[in-house]
Amino acid sequence: MARVKRGLMRHKRHKKIIARASGYWGRKKNVFSRAHEQVMKSGQYAFRDRRAKKRDFRRLWIVRITAGCAEAGIKYSQLIHGLNSQGIQINRKMLSELAIADMNAFKAVVEQARKGL
């Protein structure tokens, strides 16, 4: 069986990791072992934070809706309960956009929710 020299494939593999680590600080960008560790850790952070981003945005939307509710004279929990009991399905993202951009439409939604209380 012929001898296999691994230099070419090793170089390709290292080059791929070093390319993904470009922009990192210190030795993490150009020393393979450090770069490989950081690329693996960065992948874990990215996986975790793709899920955390969904939670963060939901919290932001709720804060915005709460501010709109305070202006409309209703509590957030009452608004959500009223909408659910009326069978109105509108997500928090759209409610927050209404509270920011079109307060008259948001107040109309609040009036519909008040009927369900």
pLDDT digits (tens, 9 = 90+) for 7-34: 999 999 999 999 999 999 999 999 999 9
Calculate the average pLDDT of the chain. Answer: 95
- Is the Cα dihedral 28, 30, 31, 33 positive or negative? positive
* pLDDT score at 1: 82
* Residue 113 clears pLDDT 90, i.e. is over it: yes
What are the residues whose beta carbons fall under 8 Å from the beta carbon of 37, sequence distance 6 or more? Answer: 28
- For the chain, the residue count is 117
Q: How far apart are the first and last CA of the chain?
A: 82
Counting the structural domains of the chain, the total is 1
User: In CATH, what number is assigned to the domain containing residue 106?
Assistant: 1.10.1900.20
Domain contains 11 = yes
Domain contains 23 = yes
Tokens of 87: 């069978």
Domain contains 2 = no
Neighbouring C-beta atoms of residue 95, cutoff 10 Å:
23
Domain contains 1 = no
Q: Which range is most confident: 1-10, 57-66, 108-117?
A: 57-66
* Structural domain containing residue 63: 7-115
Domain contains 105 = yes
- In this prediction the pTM is 0.79
Domain contains 51 = yes
Match 């090793």 to its residue by tokens: 10
